[in-house]
Amino acid sequence: MGIDRRTFLKCLGTGVALAAPGCFSLPGKLEAAGVAANKEFMGVLVDTTRCVGCRSCELACAEAHNLPVPDVGDASAFEKVRDTSEKQWTLVNRYKTEKGEIFAKKQCMHCNQPGCVAACPVKAMEKREEGPVTWDTNCMGCRYCMVSCPFDIPKFEHHSAAPKLQKCNLCWERLQKGEKPACVEACPAEALTFGARRNLIEEANRRIYKNSGEYASHIYGEHEAGGTGYLYLSSVPFEQIGFRTDLGTTAYPEYTKGFLYSVPVILLLWPAFLSGVSAITKRKDKVRSEEGGKR
Amino acid sequence: MNRTTTAVQISSLKDFLVFMRSELKPKGKILTPFNVITGSVILLGAVLILYRFFMGLGSVVHSSSEYPWGIWIGFIVMVGVAFAGGAYVTAFIVYVLRGEKYHSIVRMAVLNGFLAYVFYAGAILLDLGRWWNIANPLIGNRFGVNSVLFLVAWHFLLYMLAQLVEISPAFAEWLGLKKARKFLASLTLGAVIAGVTLSTLHQSGLGALFLMAKWKIHPLWYTEFIPLLFFVSSIYAGLSVVIFIGTVSFRVFEKDRIDEEYRRSWDDIIIDLGNACAITMFVYFFLQILVLVHGKHWSLLNTGMGYWYLTELIGLLLIPGFLFSWGVKSGNPAPIRIAAVLTMIGVIINRVDYSIIAYKWYLPLSERYIPSWMEVVITLAIVFTMVWVFIWIVNRVPILKKPPQWAIEQEQEEESVERAVALGLQLGLTMADGGSSIDKEKK
C-alpha cells in the first residue's frame, strides 16, 4: 500500500497540530541528560589522598563569591565535621580513618541529572551546558530543592527578608570567561583537577590502576545518584570520610518520573470516565422519575 | 433575626450597599468565650505575620537546613489539603453519582474545602522565602514542567477556581442574583468533573513531593506508592472532616441557619459516610500491608520508629476503621463520630510524619525540628480565621439551609427542560429505528 505525498503531509500536519499542545501538557523531557548541546559537562576530580587540609579552597571560594572570609589558620575548625552553609559554599573536613587523618572537601556535587533542578517549579535551579548547577533570582523560596537534594547541599538564608538560595555554582561566571573554578586554581597540592567529566573519570581510573593499593577502587560520583560533576578518590572506603554510600545509581528525577507521566493520562481519562458515569446516573435518574410518574 | 433570603431584591448599587451593610453586621453575640480566645490568637498571629515579613522567615520559624519544611507546610498545607478532600468526594457523590440524599451536605463540604484551599494557599505565601515571586510558575517566569511542585501549584489554583464555581450558586442565592445563579449552576457539573480530576492529581501530587527525599524519610514511610497512599487517605480524611464539621455545625448554629429537614437527615447520612470511610480505610490498610511486605521492613517494626508506625497504622487507622464499621452495622452514629476524630488525628500524624517526624528520623533530638511558639500561634491564627469565615458565611449564605424558593423553582424548571429535550431525543431515535424498540417493550 502506497502513501502519496498529500496524505503524508496531511498526516504530518495533523500529527504536529495534535502534538504541539501535547508537548505543553506532557512533562517535558528531562533536560539534564549527560551531555547537552554536544558540550561535555565539566567537573572537578578531588583526590583526597593529596589534600593537605590547608583550606585555600575555602578562602578562594569566599573571595570569588563575596562571602564572609573564613579564618583558615584556625585549626579548631577541624574538631568537628562541618556542613556547608549559606555563608560558606565549600569547606574541608578532617576524618580519622583506618589510614590516619584524611581531608575531604565538601560542596555541591553538580549532578548530571540533579534532583534540585527537577524539583524547582520555576527553573531557578538550572543545569548549565558547561556542567554547573546554578540558582537564579526568580526563585520563590519554596525550598523543595533542599528536600530533593541527595547531598543536602542547597542552603537558605532563613534570616533575611529577601533570602537567597546559596550553594556552590562551580564558578559558572568564571567558566564562561574560560577560567577554572577559584578553588581548583587555589589548590597548592593539586588535589583538585578541573576538566571534562569523561577525562576526569579516565584520569581517576589511571590513578587507581597505577597506584594499586593506595586507592579504594571506587570513584565516588561516577555513578552515585546518576553521576555527578564532582568526582572523588579516596584511600579508604568512602563511608569513612563522610560520604553516603547508599544513594544508589538512579538519577533523582527518575523517582518522580512515574508520577509525572501518570498526570496527562489521568487528566485525559478521568474527565472522560466521570462524564460517562454522570451520563449513566442521569439516565437512571430519569428512568426512575418516569417510572415514578407512571405509578 | 428571622431574615428570609427570598426577600432580597437588588436592583441598584445603592440597594446592594444597603444590603451589604446590614449583612456585614455581626449576627449574634460578639463577646462569647470562643470569640475572645480565638480573636486574641488571630490578633497575635497577625502581628507575628507582619514580623515574619519584615524580619525574614528565620525570625519566626525554627526551620533549619536539615528541615526545610516546618509545620506550615508539614501541617497546614499537607493536612489542610487532605482535610479538604471531603469537597471533591462529596461533590463526586452528589453531582456525578447523583446521590440526591446527600445534597444537604454538599455545600458545607465544598465551602469547607474552598476555604481550606484559600487559607492554606495563604500559608504557602507565608512560608515562601521569596513570596513576591509566588506567581512565577503561573505567569511563566519559567515553567518548571518537570517539577511535581509545578503541577501541584497549577492544580491548586485550578481546583480553587473549580470549587469557587461549585459554591457560587449559594452566593448568588444570598445576593438574590437570579440570572447569575442560573448561569453559575449550569457550570456545576463541569466544575465538579474538573475538580475531581484535579483533586486526584493534587492529593497524590502532595505525596509525590516526597519521592525525591528518598533516604531522608524512614523506610517504613518511604515507598514509591506515596502518591497513591496520599490519594486514598484523602478520601477518608475528607469524609471524616465532613462528619466532624457536620456534627458540630448542626449543634452550634442557631435554628434559623439550619434547615430542619437537613438536620433530621444528618444521622442517616453520617452512617453512609462512615461506611465509605470504613471501606476506604480498609483499602488503605491493605495497600500499606502490601507495601510493608514488599519492602521487607519487618525488622524495623521492632524499633522506636516501628512502634510509632504501628501506632499510626493500627491505633489510628485500623481501630477507627473498625469503629466506623461497628457504627454502620449497629446504625449508631456515636462510634462513627469518635472514629472520625481518631481518623483525623491519624491523618494529621501521617502527614506530619512525612515532612517532620519520619523525615531525618536518625538525627539526635537536639538537631530535630521542633516548631517555635510563634509558628504554632500563626498556625492556630490561620485555622481560627478560617473557622470565623466559615461561620460568617454559614450565618448568611444558604449553606446548611435550603436555597430560597425561587432557586428551587429554577432548578426544577431546568430539570423539566432537560427531560423534555431527552424525551424528544428518545422519540426521534425510536422513530429512526422504525419503532422496533417500542415493539420490544410491548413483548
Residues A87, A195: one domain? Answer: yes
Selected for mutation to probe chain A from B94, B159, B212, B229 (highest A CB count within 10 Å) is: B212
C-alpha to C-alpha distance for A138 and B133, rounded to whole angstroms: 7
Residues A234, A106: one domain? Answer: yes
Residues A193, A280: one domain? Answer: no
> CATH number for the domain including B135?
1.20.1630.10
- Comparing alpha-carbon positions, the chain A residue that sits nearest to B200 is A266
Give the N- to C-terminal CA distance of chain A in Å, as an integer: 62
Residues A257, A146: one domain? Answer: no
Task: Give the three-state DSSP class for B2.
Answer: coil
Beta strand pairing call for A133-135 and A125-127:
antiparallel
* B361, B216 contact by CB (below 8 A): no
Residues A231, A264: one domain? Answer: no
C-alpha to C-alpha distance for A129 and A34, rounded to whole angstroms: 10
Mean pLDDT of chain A: 88
A152 touches B: beta carbon within 8 Å: yes
What is the average pLDDT across A172-198?
A: 96
Distance set, CA A295 to CA A92, B83, B416, B426 (Å)? 87, 44, 18, 21
List the single range of A216-225, B365-374, B425-434 with lowest mean pLDDT: B425-434
C-alpha to C-alpha distance for B235 and B82, rounded to whole angstroms: 8
Residues A178, A276: one domain? Answer: no
pLDDT digits 0-9 by tens, A19-57 = 444 444 444 333 443 444 457 899 999 999 999 999 999
- Residues of chain B with pLDDT > 90: what percent? 78
Residues A80, A107: one domain? Answer: yes
Is the per-residue pLDDT at A177 higher than 60?
yes
Whose cell is 452495622? That residue is B329
* B69, B355 contact by CB (below 8 A): yes
pLDDT digits 0-9 by tens, B148-198 = 999 999 999 999 999 999 999 999 999 999 999 999 999 999 999 999 999
Residue A289 confidence (pLDDT): 74
* A109, A153 contact by CB (below 8 A): yes
Task: Give the three-state DSSP class for B217.
Answer: strand
Selected for mutation to probe chain A from B147, B155, B224 (highest A CB count within 10 Å) is: B147
Residue A25 confidence (pLDDT): 41
Q: How confident is the model at residue B399 (pLDDT cuts 50, 70, 90)?
A: very high
C-alpha to C-alpha distance for B358 and B378, rounded to whole angstroms: 24
Phi/psi-derived region of residue A127, left when phi > 0, alpha when psi is between -120 and 50, beta in every other case = beta
pLDDT digits 0-9 by tens, A71-96 = 988 889 999 999 999 999 999 999 99
Beta strand pairing call for A155-156 and A165-166:
antiparallel
What is the average pLDDT across B347-375?
A: 95
Distance set, CA A274 to CA A69, B187, B193, B229 (Å)? 61, 15, 6, 21
Contact check, Cβ <8 Å, B422/A256:
no
Contact check, Cβ <8 Å, A256/B211:
yes
- When divided into structural domains, chain A yields a total of 2
Is the per-residue pLDDT at B120 higher than 90?
no
Is the per-residue pLDDT at B344 higher than 60?
yes
* CA of residue A138 relative to chain centroid, distance: 18
Q: How confident is the model at residue A7 (pLDDT cuts 50, 70, 90)?
A: low
* A88, A67 contact by CB (below 8 A): yes
Is the per-residue pLDDT at B309 higher than 90?
yes
**Domain of residue B147, residue span:** 31-417
Number of H helices, E strands in chain A: 8, 9
C-alpha grid cell for residue B186? 449550569
Residue B48 confidence (pLDDT): 96
Q: How confident is the model at residue B431 (pLDDT cuts 50, 70, 90)?
A: low
Number of H helices, E strands in chain B: 18, 0
Whose cell is 554510600? That residue is A245
| Closest CA–CA distance from residue A83 to any residue of chain B (Å) | 10
What is the Cβ-side half-sphere exposure of residue B247, based on CA atoms within 13 angstroms? 20
pLDDT digits 0-9 by tens, B39-70 = 999 999 999 999 999 998 999 998 788 999 99
Contact residues on chain B for A247, CB-CB shorter than 8 A: 215
Residues A201, A264: one domain? Answer: no
Helix axes B148-175, B103-127, angle to 10 degrees: 130
Contact check, Cβ <8 Å, B201/A266:
yes
pLDDT digits 0-9 by tens, A131-162 = 999 999 999 999 999 999 999 999 999 999 99
Residue A32 confidence (pLDDT): 41
What is the average pLDDT across B264-283?
A: 95
- Residues of chain A with pLDDT > 90: what percent? 79
Give the N- to C-terminal CA distance of chain B in Å, as an integer: 61
C-alpha to C-alpha distance for B433 and B443, rounded to whole angstroms: 17
Q: Rg for chain A (alpha carbons), in Å? A: 26
Contact residues on chain B for A86, CB-CB shorter than 8 A: 65
Is the per-residue pLDDT at B439 higher than 70?
no
Is the per-residue pLDDT at A232 higher than 60?
yes
Alpha helices in chain A (DSSP H): 5-25, 56-64, 115-119, 144-148, 172-176, 182-186, 197-210, 254-294
C-alpha to C-alpha distance for B75 and B353, rounded to whole angstroms: 10
- A273 burial type by CB count under 10 A (0-12 exposed, 13-18 middle, 19+ buried): middle
> CATH number for the domain including A90?
3.30.70.20
Residue B443 confidence (pLDDT): 41
- Residues of chain B with pLDDT > 70: what percent? 93
Is the per-residue pLDDT at B27 higher than 60?
yes
Is the per-residue pLDDT at B102 higher than 80?
yes
Q: How confident is the model at residue A70 (pLDDT cuts 50, 70, 90)?
A: very high
Residues A104, A133: one domain? Answer: yes
- Comparing alpha-carbon positions, the chain A residue that sits nearest to B62 is A158
C-alpha grid cell for residue A199? 577525562
Q: Which residues of B66-85 are buried (b: 16+ CB within 10 A; e: fewer)?
A: ebbbbbbbbbbbbbbbbbbb
| Closest CA–CA distance from residue B145 to any residue of chain A (Å) | 6
In-domain check, residue B439: no
Per-residue DSSP letters for B343-369?
HHHHHHHHHHIIIIISBTTTS-GGGS-
Query: Residue A220: CB partners within 8 Å, gap ≥ 6?
Result: A231, A232, A233, A234, A238, A243
Distance set, CA A26 to CA A22, A158, B155, B203 (Å)? 6, 35, 14, 19
In-domain check, residue B2: no
Residues A232, A266: one domain? Answer: no
C-alpha grid cell for residue B175? 445576593
Distance set, CA A11 to CA A2, A3, A17, A19 (Å)? 14, 10, 10, 12
**Domain of residue A270, residue span:** 253-286
C-alpha to C-alpha distance for B52 and B46, rounded to whole angstroms: 10
What is the Cβ-side half-sphere exposure of residue A192, based on CA atoms within 13 angstroms? 30
Task: Give the three-state DSSP class for A75.
Answer: helix
**How many C-beta neighbours within 10 Å does residue B171 have?**
19
- When divided into structural domains, chain B yields a total of 1
Residue B364 confidence (pLDDT): 94
**A 92-131 residues with CB < 8 A to B:** 115, 117-124
Contact check, Cβ <8 Å, A246/B66:
no
Residue A210 confidence (pLDDT): 94
Contact check, Cβ <8 Å, B211/A142:
no
In-domain check, residue A99: yes
C-alpha to C-alpha distance for A66 and A60, rounded to whole angstroms: 10
C-alpha grid cell for residue B296? 521487607
* B319, B342 contact by CB (below 8 A): yes
Residue A284 confidence (pLDDT): 83
C-alpha to C-alpha distance for B167 and B110, rounded to whole angstroms: 7
* Residue of B165, B171, B156 lying closest to B188 (CA atoms): B165
- Phi then psi for residue A102, to 5 deg, are -130, 135
| Closest CA–CA distance from residue A246 to any residue of chain B (Å) | 8
Residues A144, A281: one domain? Answer: no
C-alpha grid cell for residue B207? 505525596
Residue B26 confidence (pLDDT): 80
C-alpha grid cell for residue A4? 502519496
Residue A14 confidence (pLDDT): 47
A161 touches B: beta carbon within 8 Å: yes
From the list A139, A152, A271, the residue facing B130 with the nearest CB is A139
Q: Rg for chain B (alpha carbons), in Å? A: 24
Q: How confident is the model at residue B16 (pLDDT cuts 50, 70, 90)?
A: confident
pTM above 0.80, yes or no: yes
